[in-house]
Amino acid sequence: MSKERKRALRAKTFKRWLHANLSATERRDLAEHGAAGGFAGLIYYHETSALFDKYRDEIWEVLAQIADAVIGRPSPVHLIAHITHSVTLNPWSTFANLCVWTVAEHYCETELNEKEQQ
């Protein structure tokens, strides 16, 4: 693992992790096309599960805010089920992956919207 990647894993927040690991162009692409397009550090379940474990509180808080705005109640579990149209979210790694992707997309979309408004 490169020194750059090791430093990035020490980011204090998930938002900082995104900025340390994805270029501005990649963040724009993520906002426009979604995380499923494949971005470094967000591809494999072992990567997204590790991110979820490290930034769990931040990710959960952002998901609750999104859920409140989208479905009218601050329930991250219901939000992910709503997004995926799924009744089950097994295995755990699938759920963690979807949580990380949703917050990554939200952060990148917010950043893109703020730049467009300037």
**pLDDT tens string 19-66:** 999 999 999 999 999 999 999 999 999 999 999 999 999 999 999 999
- Computed on alpha carbons and rounded to an integer, the radius of gyration of the chain in Å comes to 14
Q: Residue 81: inside a domain, yes or no? A: yes
Q: Residue 38: inside a domain, yes or no? A: yes
| pTM, rounded to two decimals | 0.86
Q: Residue 41: inside a domain, yes or no? A: yes
Q: Residue 8: inside a domain, yes or no? A: no
Q: In the chain, how many domains are there?
A: 1
Q: Residue 83: inside a domain, yes or no? A: yes
pLDDT at 84: 81
Burial 3-23 (b: 16+ CB within 10 A, else e): eeeeebeebeebbebbbebbe
Count helices and strands in the chain by DSSP H and E runs = 7, 0
Q: Residue 29: inside a domain, yes or no? A: yes
Domain ranges, residue 89: 14-111
**Cβ atoms of residues 59 and 99 within 8 Å:** yes
- Write down the mean pLDDT value for the chain: 89
**Cβ atoms of residues 21 and 65 within 8 Å:** no
- Which tens digits make up the pLDDT trace of 71-90? 888 889 888 888 887 756 67
Q: Residue 59: inside a domain, yes or no? A: yes
Q: Residue 9: inside a domain, yes or no? A: no
Q: How far apart are CA 34 and CA 105, in angstroms?
A: 6
pLDDT at 6: 47
Residue 31 exposed, middle or buried by CB count within 10 Å (0-12, 13-18, 19+):
buried
Does the bond joining 74 to the residue before it have cis omega, within 30 degrees of 0?
no
